[in-house]
Amino acid sequence: MHLTATRPDLMYAVRLIYRFMESPKDSHWKVGKIILRYVASTAGYGLWYTRTSECTLTGYKDNDFAGCIDDWKSKYGYAFHFGTSLISWASKK
């Protein structure tokens, strides 16, 4: 679960296999290894925060009402930027 807090690009994949932790199958192990290989190959990537004189707050939001065909639940997410820096984000099902 640490990956979901530090790597927003991995949140969906990690949460998807996290649902099967009580009774994992071989396919979940394979997906977990793919995720870990991706983390190792992108270790130098990240978010950069720079000093800027621009002080505008910008927000983005996205919804998907009952779009998951597995359980018909909705997904939504948001991201807020202050200047060029990402200060808050979330993705929920």
Q: φ and ψ at 85, to 5 degrees?
A: -105, 135
Between 63 and 37, the more confident residue is: 37
The identity of residue 74, as a single letter, is: S
Q: Quote the tokens at residue 39.
A: 């983390």
Q: Quick one: pLDDT at residue 45?
A: 74
pLDDT for 24 beyond 70: yes
pLDDT for 5 beyond 80: no
pLDDT-derived band at 3, boundaries 50, 70, 90: low
- Alpha carbon distance 43, 27 (integer Å): 24
pLDDT for 16 beyond 70: yes
pLDDT for 68 beyond 70: no
